[in-house]
Amino acid sequence: MSSFWRLTGGNTASLLEPVEDLKEGDKLDEPGQAAHHGDHLTPAEKRYLEQWEKIDLQRMAKMASKSHRDRIHEFNQYLANLTEHYDIPKVGPG
């Protein structure tokens, strides 16, 4: 999509109005990709974002390596190991 649309208040004739005054850096590079806003970030913020993306990719790869059946089995095992919260503990004489 070459132009972005914004909602404006007022009459219905101008509800969708094309916005053409975007900078080249604000446009999407590829479909599904967020705009790259690295120009205004400090070096520490850039390092943080790079590290966050790296960790996110590792987490996604770990999740993708397990099948649905494995995840369900693991979750059922987790539930089986939990204490049963509705049990009334026996406290005191009686």
Asked if residue 15 lies in contact with residue 7, where contact means CB atoms within 8 angstroms, the answer is yes
Collect all residues with Cβ–Cβ distance below 8 Å to 66 and sequence separation of at least 6. 74
pLDDT tens per residue across span 60-91: 998 888 899 999 999 999 999 887 777 676 77
Q: How confident is the model at residue 6 (pLDDT cuts 50, 70, 90)?
A: very low
CA torsion angle 55 61 67 68 (round to 10):
40
Going from N- to C-terminal start, the domains of the chain cover 4-81
